[in-house]
Amino acid sequence: MFSNETKIGLLVIISLALMIWGYKFIKGKNILTSSTILYAQYDEVDQLATSTPVTIQGFQVGIVNQISFENVNGKQMVQVELDIEKGVNIPKNAVANIVSTSIMGGKAVSIEFDRPCSGADCAGSGDMIKGVYKNILSSMVTTDQLGGYMNEVQQNVGPIVDSLKAQFSGSEGGQQSMQDVQAIIANLKSATTSMDLLMRKSAGKIDGLLANLESITNTINSSQTDIKGIISNANSFSSKMNALELDKTLAKANKAIDSTPVLMDKLQNTLGEADKAAQELSSLMQKMNNGEGTLGKLMNEDELYTNLEETLKNMDLLLEDLRLHPERYRRILSKKKIPYEAPN
């Protein structure tokens, strides 16, 4: 079996590993699976943050792992490290576009390429692909889409204008109405021109407002990890508090407190008996000092001690004579009277 120190060490190692895995998982990276690392360089990234999603045709295939500065031919570039899921093949001529996902300033890295790749045509881990930064308008609407919208408007509005022109051109009232329509259109044109001038003058303020909104959203996005960490710590703390079983611990403490008077009574009884025994021992010692009793006389009267010592000495001589001259004592069992001989 493992010792307590080994168990504690293993528990600490497992806890650290789970914390690291959880932190990486919250940021969108699973350290238990392998991935492909690609790099792209940009003149600017417009507050692109780590853990920003990397997509292909709107489907997330990875995250932004790291952002750093690199000196490229004497020019400072921003290098972005892209962590792509294993099994996603990206051609070497692919383009990594930094795009805005919403007017609130959300960012993403959209990888675009003409056709799929296979084998050596695919970018491997550590390869560099082209990076392009797109502003909000180019991210939301491409040039082809804008041209399509304008063609759609022209096709739908043109027949209506031609119909109105044919209807109003046949009579004087129609001609007057046509002139009125032309006046209205002229007024609309003037109004749109004024509106265009106003928009041009306010473009800087609008850009500033959008930049502020984008900064706020980026700040919120960058704080998500901290917020999740706080929530995770709170959940962990509450779990540990539940695991401690405070109710049972408090119940045991209350039981111990309730049993304290009984223990104090037992302790007082024990101390009383010990005090009584000490008093009896003190009385016994006092009697011995006063010469009362056998032990007292033995300790205080020299004559008793002398007589006892003399008796023991005579006993010793008797036993010694019995050992050396046993025939002298056999006369006790004999019917003859043998005269006593004094020992030497």
Q: What integer is the mean pLDDT of 113-134?
A: 90
CB 104, CB 82: distance < 8 Å: no
pLDDT tens-digit map of 158-181: 666 666 666 655 555 556 666 777
pLDDT (0 to 100) of residue 272? 86
pLDDT (0 to 100) of residue 38? 93
Q: How far apart are CA 200 and CA 207, in angstroms?
A: 11
Top mean-pLDDT range of 126-140, 168-182, 206-220: 126-140
Q: What is the dihedral of CA 222, 224, 228, 234, to 10 degrees?
A: 90
**Which is more confidently placed, 43 or 335?**
43
Q: Name the 3-class secondary structure at 206.
A: helix
Asked if residue 244 has pLDDT above 80, the reply is no
Question: For residue 59, what are the β-bridge partners?
Answer: 56
Q: How far apart are CA 53 and CA 98, in angstroms?
A: 11
Q: Name the 3-class secondary structure at 113.
A: coil
Q: What integer is the mean pLDDT of 204-223?
A: 69
Q: What integer is the mean pLDDT of 114-133?
A: 90
Question: For residue 67, what are the β-bridge partners?
Answer: 80
Q: What integer is the mean pLDDT of 70-95?
A: 91
**Stated pTM of the model:** 0.38
pLDDT (0 to 100) of residue 65? 86
pLDDT (0 to 100) of residue 157? 63
User: Domain residues of the chain, as ranges?
Assistant: 7-116+123-140, 143-201, 301-332
Calculate the alpha carbon distances from 233 to 36, 147, 240 in Å: 32, 53, 10
Q: How far apart are CA 245 and CA 84, in angstroms?
A: 45
Residue 63 CB contacts under 8 Å (≥ 6 apart), including other chains:
27, 28, 29, 50, 51, 52, 53, 54, 82, 83
pLDDT tens-digit map of 279-294: 888 888 887 777 777 7
Q: Assign 94 a pLDDT band (cuts: 50, 70, 90).
A: very high
pLDDT (0 to 100) of residue 129? 93
**Which is more confidently placed, 332 or 96?**
96
Q: What integer is the mean pLDDT of 171-192?
A: 71
pLDDT (0 to 100) of residue 143? 53
**Which is more confidently placed, 161 or 266?**
266
pLDDT (0 to 100) of residue 285? 82
pLDDT (0 to 100) of residue 21? 67
The residue among 295, 337, 124, 103 whose CA lies nearest residue 211 is 103
Asked if residue 245 has pLDDT above 80, the reply is no
Q: What is the mean pLDDT of the chain?
A: 76
Q: Assign 78 a pLDDT band (cuts: 50, 70, 90).
A: very high
pLDDT tens-digit map of 81-91: 999 988 899 99
**Which is more confidently placed, 270 or 220?**
270
pLDDT (0 to 100) of residue 254? 73
Q: Assign 109 a pLDDT band (cuts: 50, 70, 90).
A: very high
pLDDT (0 to 100) of residue 67? 92
pLDDT (0 to 100) of residue 216? 72
pLDDT tens-digit map of 135-151: 765 555 555 555 555 66
